[in-house]
Structure 1
Amino acid sequence: MCKKTVIHSKVVFLLATILSFTVHAQGESGAEQATSDLMPDSAAPVVVVTGTRHEKDDALINDFVSIDEVAKAPNSVVKLLDNQPGLAANGQPGLFQTINIRGLARQRVQAYISGMRITSERRAGIAASFVDPALLSGAEVTQGPASTYYGSGAIAGTIHLQTRQEDRPWMMLGYHADGNEWVTAGGTGDDTYSINLAYRTRDNGETVTGTPKNNQFSQHSLNFVRHFELGNYNLDWQVIESQGRDIGKDNLRFPESRITSYPEENHLLSQLTLSSDASWFARLYFHDQDLVTQDIRPENRINRVTTNSLDIGFSLEDSWQQGDWKGIYGVEYFGRRGVDSVEEEIDIATRASQSYWALESGEENESALFATINREFNSWSFHSGIRINYLSQKSDISESLSDSYTTYFSTLKKQLGDWELGVSYGTGFRFATVSERLFNGTTARGQVLGNPDLLPEESESLDLSVSYAGESLKFEAHGFNTDIENFIERISIDDDTRTFRNITDGKISGWQYKSEYIASNSISLVLAGQGISGHDADGNWLADIPAERNSLSLLYQPDNWITQLSYVKRSAKSKAGDGEVPLDAADIIDFKLGYRINPDWRIQFVIENLLDEAYFSSADDLATQATGRNFGLSIFYR
């Protein structure tokens, strides 16, 4: 039986099980559901699957960004987050574009969905875009070295996507003019279960100058949660399933020299979480995924790469308190099995084909012990933590490799009336991936040699903060500096051979701020911005450093109306790193107008890039221009 048949069999079995649980849940729930006209459509947390283990505002910069907060109608995680202070879009645009946190991106940003760690073999980084934004309530973003909490890869921080969980029927229908994009989503639930589905499809769109973009795709997503109360214990079972088809990769090579797409993307995730009234929490999950990448070189050849993997995660954590001291401690395991990558080359003229194994039966085991300690005394607060990590990796053609790393952080804050001062120091790390170490063989693109001697990337970060929380005004500003050693990059040995090496050290420094002024019950203003610079040990500009940016958002909510105007002033970027080009300045305005027709129905109209500005969303040298002025309309029922 082929892998795809196995995945589809699992999906059928799980859907049948979900339906049986749903019918049972409906039968046992006779309670009348309370309603509130003021409750946002995406905020009905009837079942809670905990995603983050850090306490908000304790040690890390962390903000929750709701789907309803942004002026755009996000069709990807990047659109939801890219204008937040400290964050920026990174790499080539499209569904698989990724997020940059404080000048670091790719495998240095760790992503989670409902607490489940997400991985990717793509060098561009982890794009957790297989769950439709319509099935999300929002995302919690941590900034700074989060490795003590979350392990390898959290050098820059983490993105925790929180799935939508409804306690009553809901649905939405949305349309965007660019690419003729449609989304249909809906679901239902009560206090014991929630089931939600979404289907989104779009054709290729255009840049502001009318150039075709290769950004078509179709995708369906499903999210199901079932809640059980077992005496003093709470048990939650969650299933996420997603299939994407014909996902275009939007870059400057399209369509003359190269047409790159992802014909298939399949994900199946399931987890059990168990908690008790005594505050301990356990999680067990798996993530089965496969991705097909197709690269067409017109009048020459087609290269098709299929990657597969099964991820398994387990964690057990508990809180502790001794007098005025408290914290959490726990153990965590993350494993990968069957990490395979095989490439097929097809000659367009003769249709002859041949296959090459790039990685066969890769395996990874990462385990850790962690603990934190916190105390508040008078107007001071102290937070610290430590994590001990161990890693092993192997494949069918390699011996077992091992590595270890210990990371820690400390934060001290001082309250001065409505003001608060803070200083934080922490370390972060990233182990080399299975592919970077064990990918070894001849492919259609030449000889690729993994490097088993790669050292972990290491970081040291210092953050100074000041914040103010008054009755109508809130303000927060940070200055930060991050030193990184042993950057892992792919390099060319000769014209036909590539490998991975620790090639440089770097220093990244910057500032960011966010202020919110509530003028009245219906009017609020948010002003935010960031500026980041980064150089390697030889003084060369590092890649992935975003342009300086400042933004202003105005929200006006009279009665049943909501009006939001967002203005982003992005400065020019004159210096570019490897694989990048300079960026011109840009002025980007988004507008949203919504009206609540009655307690159950509301309608929303958006205009993205109101000024029809011609700009690039990132400095990647293959990135295409952004979409021009784009109109969208959505209808919501709940």
Structure 2
Amino acid sequence: MPGLLSVTCLLIFSPFSLVVAQTAVLEEVRVIGRRDTGAALGVSTADLLAFDEQVSLNRTVGDWIEQLPGVSLNGQGGLFQAYSIRGFSRWRIRTEVNGVPIITDRRAGNSASFVPPDLITQVAVEKSASSTLYGSGAMGGVVGLDTRPAQGLSVKAEAANNGEQFSLTALSGRSDGLSAGMSVRRASDADDPTGDSLNTGFEQFAGLLAGHADLGGLSVNYSWIPSLGRDIGKSNALYPEIRSSSYPKEKHSVGQFELRSRGDWFLRAYHHYQDWDADVVRLGERRNVTRYQAHTVGGLFQASTALLRGEGSLGVEWVGRRGVSIDEQEFSSDGQLLFNQQLVDGDEDTLAVFADQQWVGGGLSVSGGLRYDQIEQSSDQRSDSDGQWSASAAIDYTLGDSWSTRAELASGYRFPGLSERYFNGTTPRGEVLGNPDLEAETRQSAEIGVTFEPPSSALRGALSLYYSDLENYIERYSISPLLVSYRNLDGASIQGLELDFGLQTGPVNHRLSYQWQEGEDDQGNTLADLNPPGFRYFMSWQGQRQGVYSDLSFRPSRDEFGADEQPLDSAWIWNARYTQRVAGNWNAELFVSNILDEDYRSTADDVAPLQPGRTFGLRLEWRKS
């Protein structure tokens, strides 16, 4: 497809990816549930990951996407493990479930860990600045989860030895009617390679309802995910001698309803309700219990356009946050209540209009987009408002049958969150003091890339170079050893490169990738949340009844680190799995994580724990199409 090949994402030649092109109408794209026009705004490709391509740990969506160049885990460990895309993490990444934005006020950022991996059909990762399409919170990219089950019936059971992990999932999928599913999973505390216990235990139950119906010239799509978690451990290096952090309960409800008119327009309404508690015990000192509640509601309307012989769309979106409430209780070491107070009682509204357009001629594609967001935030003590423009432009050009190039300019932004402005209290990491005077952070980025993809060769290759200039970058910093807050930096920059090569030799697929990145503020201080350098070699062999998958990565040591971080030692991480069709509709799988029993931390966070030691597991699945 001339002009629509992008090297922004470097896996377009591998089984992990797919090119998603814009057409003359608004067509439903299964892998990107929220936005249907991608090429015009520099997100014409998405790295795609499906369950059968997962080789590493399978705790959350973060374990899926960290195998991609430019993506790494971030923060502390356990079920709430966060992720970083090209040096952007926390609230700078837009996470969506079936097109519903997941917005929380956790310091570590938004997380979709309440969705069990067995309910996820596939994940789309967009690594470029995406504020022109998705608004505030997408300045670092987008992670979109699709939970619509494949057609047919399936029952899956999984068990692993380290941490007594167990899960059971049942799914029933129909393309022209109601689909349903449920997943139950639990785990005890796992052990790290040294034999020490990690605070990683949890219990979780989640359900799924999804459907599709045709009503004359209209189509209706809907989905609902309820989720309940209990006794979720927050793994960190302070456990168990100094501090123990957990989430005693976690409730979520995510739903969306979409009405679509045969490619001319679509209308989507959605909601996300969440209610969870955090319990932090400082041994011999005190205990703090924080309760969080919030309700996100919103709507999106988008219609196709054809201006100046181009193709594009116009849209309007509203995102509202209601009843954002954070309450805290503090108890003495002997259980006496010391205080009970409300830390945050706020609301938020964001209204946006956006437009995009694309012109294609021969091997050349020129595209651009524009968006404006207006936000209103309020708490019980003060109100704030702000507005931001974002824009993007891209040129794609194909050189013969084998080469394609891309150049992109984009701007992004993020409004400070309610908790960054107004929260003053205790989190599982420590004491936090909000800053109501924070300004919106902005990003101006440039990216160039080239892809080599000859039609008659089994070899593929791609290179991407990117640079981001940041203004008013919001940094978390330490006021004292026990207290942190937020501030705007005058300026900062992030730059990096990604290399990816693929080779298909008969039934064997090879993929070798490399990532490198650096980021500093105007005073030369290293930024936090950067991706460490790393090499990764992936190999898969697929026979008629068997399959072998190997994922080997090497992370060199890194001495530079940002605020609240520490140096990283080098590490070799190797995961593998073997699949076998047993009989009839039955499939079996053996997997091993951390085969080398490597003693390593996955992130530079200064309280990040070691990762679990060598883990053996078995997965059985019965499937009927």
Q: Same fold by TM-score, threshold 0.5 exceeded?
A: yes
Aligned twin of 2:226: 241
Tell me if 1:601 matches 2:583. no
- The correspondence of residues 99-248 of structure 1 with structure 2, limited to 5 A, is 99-190=83-174, 191-248=176-233
Could you tell me which amino acid in structure 1 is paired with residue 300 of structure 2? S
Q: Residues of 1 paired with 2:39 and 2:370: CA distance?
A: 18
Is 2:337 aligned against 1:355? no
Deviation at 1:127, TM superposition (A): 1.4
Q: Secondary structure at the match of 2:64?
A: helix
Q: Does residue 35 of structure 2 align to residue 53 of structure 1?
A: yes
CA offset at residue 351 of structure 1?
A: 2.5
Task: Specify the alignment match of 1:366 in structure 2.
Answer: 350
Measure how far apart 1:183 and its partner are.
0.5
Higher relative contact order by CA 8 Å / sep ≥ 6: 1 or 2?
2
- CA 1:583–1:449: 2 relative to 1, 3 Å: closer
Q: Which residue of 2 is the match for residue 15 of structure 1?
A: none
Given the superposition, is the C-alpha separation of residues 375 and 47 from structure 1 closer, same or farther in structure 2, using an over 3 Å criterion? closer
CA distance in 1, matches of 2:396, 2:426: 54
Q: Post-superposition shift, 1:620?
A: 0.7
1:470 pairs, out of 454, 464, 467, with 454
Q: Deviations over 1:449-471 (max 9, x none)?
A: 54333210000111010012223
Letter of the 1:482 partner, please give it.
S
1:323, distance to aligned residue in structure 2 (A): 5.9
Per-residue CA deviations over 1:217-242 (Å, capped at 9, x if unaligned) read: 01011111122211111112211100
Question: How far is the alpha carbon of 1:489 from its aligned partner?
Answer: 2.9
User: Please, which of 542, 547, 552 is the counterpart of residue 532 of structure 2?
Assistant: 547
Q: Which residue of 2 aligns with 1:437?
A: 421
2:568 is the alignment partner of 1:568 = no
**Alignment-derived partner of residue 72 in structure 2:** 88
Are the aligned partners of 1:357 and 1:441 in contact in 2 as well (CA < 8 Å)? no
Query: Counterparts of 1:163-562 in structure 2 under 5 Å?
Result: 163-190=147-174, 191-322=176-307, 324-349=309-334, 351-360=336-345, 362-398=346-382, 400-417=383-400, 418-439=402-423, 450-471=434-455, 472-491=458-477, 499-520=485-506, 522-562=507-547
Change (3 A) 1:123 1:73: closer
Q: 2 CA distance for matches of 1:525 and 1:49?
A: 24
Corresponding residue number in structure 1 for 2:5: none
Aligned CA distance change for structure 1 residues 443 and 135 (closer, same or farther; 3 Å): closer
Query: Whole-Å Cα distance in 1 between the matches of residues 622 and 489 of structure 2?
Result: 54
1:474 Cα offset (Å): 2.5
Q: Given the superposition, is the C-alpha separation of residues 350 and 234 from structure 1 closer, same or farther in structure 2, using an over 3 Å criterion?
A: closer
Assess if the C-alpha contact under 8 Å between 2:460 and 2:502 holds in 1.
yes
**3-state DSSP class of the match of 2:163?**
helix
Distance 1:208 1:49 in 2: 37
Distance 1:599 1:343, change over 3 A: same
d(CA) in 1 for partners of 2:500, 2:565: 28
Q: Which residue identity is paired with 1:231?
A: G
Contact 1:106 1:124 in 2 (8 A): yes
Cα drift, residue 53 of structure 1: 1.6
For residues 594 and 306 of structure 1, the distance between their equivalents in structure 2, rounded to whole angstroms, comes to 43
What do the CA deviations read for 1:558-605 (whole angstroms, capped 9, x no partner)? 211111111101111111111111111111111110011245111111
Look up the match of 1:65.
49
The more displaced of 217-226 and 321-330 is 321-330
Q: Alpha-carbon deviations, 1:74-106, whole Å to 9, x = none?
A: 121111111211100001111101110001111
Contact 1:303 1:444 in 2 (8 A): no
Letter in 1 for 2:251: N
With over 3 angstroms needed to count, the CA separation of the structure-2 counterparts of 1:329 and 1:444, relative to structure 1, is: closer
- The change in CA–CA distance for 1:57 and 1:69 in structure 2 (over 3 A counts) is farther
Within 2, Cα distance between the matches of 1:284 and 1:369?
16
Distance 1:422 1:350, change over 3 A: closer
SS in 2 for 1:178: coil
Mean alpha-carbon deviation: is it higher for 458-467 or for 438-447? 438-447
For the residue of structure 1 that corresponds to 2:256, the secondary structure is: strand
Q: Check whether the contact 1:356–1:442 (CA below 8 A) recurs between aligned residues.
A: no
8 Å CA contact 1:381–1:413 kept in 2: the answer is: yes
**Cα distance in 1, alignment partners of residues 75 and 482 from structure 2:** 25
Note closer, same or farther for the CA distance 1:490–1:243 as it changes in structure 2 (3 Å cut): same
Q: How does 1:69-80 map to 2 (within 5 A)?
A: 69-72=53-56, 74-80=58-64
Q: 1: distance between equivalents of 2:144 and 2:408? A: 22
1:36 equivalent in structure 2:
none
User: In structure 1, what is the Cα distance between the partners aligned to 2:429 and 2:609?
Assistant: 24
Question: Alpha-carbon deviation of 1:496?
Answer: 8.6
Rate the CA distance shift 1:545–1:189 in 2: closer, same or farther, 3 A: closer
Work out the CA distance in 1 between the residues paired with 2:82 and 2:515: 18
Contact 2:131/2:411 (CA < 8 Å) preserved in 1? yes
Deviates more, 1:249-258 or 1:320-329: 320-329
SS of residue in 2 equivalent to 1:179: coil
Distance, in Å, in 1 between the alignment partners of 2:238 and 2:431 is 23
* Amino acid aligned to 1:406: W
Q: Secondary structure at the match of 1:615?
A: coil
Q: Deviations over 1:97-134 (max 9, x none)?
A: 11100011111111000000001111111111100000
> Which residue in 2 is equivalent to 1:27?
none
Q: Structure 1 pair 410/335, CA: closer, same or farther in 2 (3 Å)?
A: same
Write the distance in 2 (CA, Å) between the matches of 1:128 and 1:263: 17
Q: How far apart are the structure 2 equivalents of 1:86 and 1:523?
A: 25
Change in CA separation of 1:257 and 1:264 when aligned onto 2, cut-off 3 Å: same
Question: Following the alignment from structure 2 to structure 1, what is the Cα–Cα distance between the partners of residues 283 and 518?
Answer: 40
For residues 30-41 of structure 1, the aligned pairs below 5 Å read: none
Task: Figure out how many residues of one structure are paired with residues of the other and give that number.
Answer: 591
Taking the aligned partners of 2:380 and 2:124, their CA distance within structure 1 comes to 38
Report the alpha carbon displacement of residue 320 of structure 1 after superposing the two structures with TM.
1.5
Cα distance in 2 for partners of 1:162, 1:476 equals: 27
Rounded to whole Å, the distance in 1 between the matches of 2:262 and 2:63 is: 38
Q: 1:535 to 1:228 in 2, by over 3 A?
A: same
Could you list the runs of 5+ residues in structure 2 that have no partner in the other structure?
A: 1-15, 17-27
- Contact kept in structure 2, 1:112 and 1:161, CA below 8 Å: yes
SS of 1:407's partner is strand
In structure 2, C-alpha distance between the alignment counterparts of 1:340 and 1:602, rounded to whole Å: 46
**Cα distance in 2, alignment partners of residues 62 and 52 from structure 1:** 13
**Aligned residues with identical type, % of pairs:** 32
| Secondary structure class of the residue paired with 1:597 | strand
Q: 1:73 to 1:574 in 2, by over 3 A?
A: closer
Please report how far the alpha carbon of residue 47 of structure 1 lies from its aligned counterpart in structure 2 after TM superposition.
11
